[in-house]
Each structure stands twice: as structure tokens, then as C-alpha cells.
Structure 1
Amino acid sequence: MAPTPTKKELLLKAAKELFGEYGYAETTFKKISERAGVALGLLTHHFGNKEKLFLTAGLDVLHELIRTIQTTVQDTPNGLEAVRAFCTSYFDFARDPGKDFMVLIRCSPFSDLKTISDKDLMVSSFSELYDILIACLARGIKDGSIRRLDARKTAVVIFCNLVGGIRHGFLTPYGDDSMFDDIVAFLVDGLKPAPGV
């Protein structure tokens, strides 16, 4: 049996849900405390202000995503399969309602954070995802499962497709249930060495 969540954990969970549902501007401390069933004053006690709570919520989701992807790519047979696992894991995590990924979609951590130190912390954390993907690409180049390319630039292109796919899938009426698998297949096919090379 799971331990009973603390009031701080209840507040953080409610904040992640509400930031994901309503965005940064429309999420209030009052809504968060009501959703959590916890006194309003505890929000300030635990998190200080709305921006610090937003940063904490975003980082909590992001760090769980990083751990999930690290575990997923760990036992892949080669770099190409590591990239496939990375992309599939990213989409699976994002589509799992229990993971609160929408907090990263509905609220841009780069535009809603006001202080430089908070933005730097978020950028540093997002960079961990890029580093994992770059390592998967470099591994594939080395083992021959991925054609020769610039791993850093390719990681940026892959992320553009992942983020765009999620935004398109969640925020527009287009696409179907196979769209995310199609994106992964398209990305992986583009990385393979040319036949006979």
C-alpha cells in the first residue's frame, strides 16, 4: 500500500494538474488549494509564490521524464534502437494522463518564468534530455546503426518533431491514433545508413 501523500505532495499534484488544464495565467493558489483539499496558506509556506510553484511542478514532471527515458534507452542493442526507444518513451510519457506532461505543454517554462535563475535552471534540466539523445545518436554513429551526421544538430531536429508532434496531437483535431508511431518511424528511417553503405 502506498504511503499517504503529504500536504506538500497533494499541493504539488494539484498544481501540476491545474497548470496543465488551465495554463499558468488561469491557475490560482485558490484553485490549487481547493483541488488538493489543503489550506491556502500552506502553498506560500511550501512554495513561496506561484512562479516557484510552477517551476517546481515543471521540474518535477521533467525529472520524471528524464528518469523514464534513461531507463528505457539503457538496454537497447544499438544507437538506432536507443533513439527509437527515446522517441517512443517521450510520446508514451506525454500521453499518460498520470504523468502531468500537459504542464510542460500548456505552460511554456521558457516564457512564463520571469527570473533569469529560474529560466537557467529549466534550460539546464531540459539540456539533460538533449544530452541523452545526443549520446544515443553518437552511439549509433559509432556502432554503424546510424549514418554519419552531426549528433547535436540532429538532436535539435528530432526534438522539433517530438515537441511539434505532441503539440499537434494534443492541441489540434488533426492526426489519428497512429500519428506518434508514424513520427517515430519517420525519424528512425531518416537516421539509417543508406543501403549498401
Structure 2
Amino acid sequence: MPAKGDHDARRRDVSEAVWRVVATAGFTGLTMRAVAAELGASTGLVTHYFPSKALLVRHALDLAAERTDERPLRTPEAPGLAALRAAVLDVAPVDGDAVAMNRVWVSSWDLALADAGFGAAQAARYTRWRAKLARHVADAQERGEIGAGDPADLAARVAAFTHGLVTQALFDPEAFGAARQERLVDGFLDSLRAGAPARDS
């Protein structure tokens, strides 16, 4: 029997291969054979850790959630609009890691629509994200940076814009590079200023 340390290290290697396959080929491309090829090993090694496709998919989803929750986030210069901008850019696919993360999540939407349990988990995740955005919106309103309106509705607009930007950037990365994404984010956030009270200079 291999030592526990060796077993754990090998499982981490398999997990990394699972992540790379999903980030490249999406969940439709996630197969035992694809993971084995990515790992440079036999399918028997993969099935040792994940005996079924369902367990392999579940592990990939758990990895996506774990990496999303543990990824480094921007430190905003101030609360309010600056924090809202940072939260949007934390999601936007402006670098390689963010592109991979978004490819995984977007490819998982089909699973979420087909599986009630996973769909509920996704809905809960998006509810938490919108709540976080709504707190930034409310702070921005208190600071006079954003006009009046229901913070939850404005947060939903921000979330919809962000997901729209994500899908365009994933499908046309040459047209939606990091610099353009940031300009689009800034332009969208400027549109939320309408009706904000004038601030003393």
C-alpha cells in the first residue's frame, strides 16, 4: 500500500489534471480518458480516485467552488464605488486564472440547469454574490457616488452586466482584452452615477 502522503499527493495531481481538463474543454470534455491523458497516466489510476463519471464531475464542481472562494481578491482603495469596481473586476476574465475560472463556471451552467441539486447550489451562490454587490451599492449611495434606487435591483444590473462581459470576453478574447474590459466596467459604473448628488470639490 502506498504511504498516505504519496496517496494524497497523487490525488492532488489528479485534481490538478481534472481542473486543467475542465478549464480547457469544459464539463462536456471531462472524461476519465481526458483526465488520464492530461495526467500522463492510465484511466485505471483516475478511476481509483473517482470510480464513476458522476464522482468526477462532482469533484470538478467542488474544485471550482473551492478555487473561487480561495482566490486572491483586489483590495479596493475605498468602500462604495471603488469596492464595487474591484468586485466586478474580481469576476471579469482579465487574466489567465480568471479566464480558466470563468470557463469552468460557464461550462457548468448546463449541468446546473439539468440537475436540481446543483442548480439550487448555483442559485444560492449567485444570491450571495448579488448580496455582496448590493452592500457595495448601498455604501456608494451613502457616499453620494451612485444615484437613488433599490440596492438589490442595482446589484442585479451589475451582475447582469458582469456576466454579459464574461461571455463576450470568453468567446472573443482578442476583442475583449483586459484593458477594454476595464474601460467597459468603468463606463458601466459611470452610468450608475446618474442622479447622484453633487459632491463638494
TM range (shorter): 0.7 to 0.9
Local SS of the residue matching 2:127: helix
Contact preservation (8 Å) 1:83, 1:133? yes
1:118 is displaced (CA, Å) by 2.4
Deviation track 1:98-122 (CA, whole Å, cap 9, x = no partner) reads: 45312123x1x23224432222223
1:173 is displaced (CA, Å) by 6.5
1:195 is displaced (CA, Å) by 5.7
Q: Corresponding residue for 1:190? A: 191
Contact preservation (8 Å) 2:32, 2:46? yes
1:158 is displaced (CA, Å) by 1.4
Distance in 2, matches of 1:48 and 1:149, equals 51
Q: Corresponding residue for 1:162? A: 162
Distance in 1, matches of 2:77 and 2:58, equals 32
Local SS of the residue matching 2:110: coil
Q: Corresponding residue for 2:11? A: 8
Distance in 2, matches of 1:174 and 1:97, equals 13
Q: Corresponding residue for 2:128? A: 128
Q: Corresponding residue for 1:72? A: 74
Deviation track 1:29-70 (CA, whole Å, cap 9, x = no partner) reads: 11102212355345445445334433432443344334447x
Check 1:64–1:173 CA distance in 2 against 1; reply closer, same or farther (3 A cut).
closer
Distance in 2, matches of 1:186 and 1:110, equals 28
Count of residue pairs the alignment pairs up: 189
Q: Corresponding residue for 1:119? A: 119
Q: Corresponding residue for 2:21? A: 18
Check 1:129–1:48 CA distance in 2 against 1; reply closer, same or farther (3 A cut).
farther
1:194 is displaced (CA, Å) by 3.6
Deviation track 1:5-45 (CA, whole Å, cap 9, x = no partner) reads: 82222222222221222222233111102212355345445
Deviation track 1:144-185 (CA, whole Å, cap 9, x = no partner) reads: 222222222222221222121121122136624332012211
Distance in 2, matches of 1:131 and 1:44, equals 39
Q: Which moved more, 1:22-31 or 1:120-129?
A: 120-129
TM-score (norm 2): 0.76
Distance in 1, matches of 2:132 and 2:49, equals 32
- What runs of 5+ residues in structure 2 fail to find an aligned partner? none
1:81 is displaced (CA, Å) by 0.7
Q: Corresponding residue for 2:171? A: 171
CA RMSD of aligned residues (A): 2.9
* Structure with greater Cα Rg: 2
Counterpart residue identity of residue 65, structure 1: T
Distance in 2, matches of 1:137 and 1:168, equals 24
Distance in 2, matches of 1:157 and 1:72, equals 21
Distance in 2, matches of 1:37 and 1:150, equals 53
Give the alignment of 1:22-41 within 5 angstroms. Answer: 22-41=25-44
Distance in 1, matches of 2:54 and 2:123, equals 16
- What runs of 5+ residues in structure 1 fail to find an aligned partner? none
TM-score (norm 1): 0.77
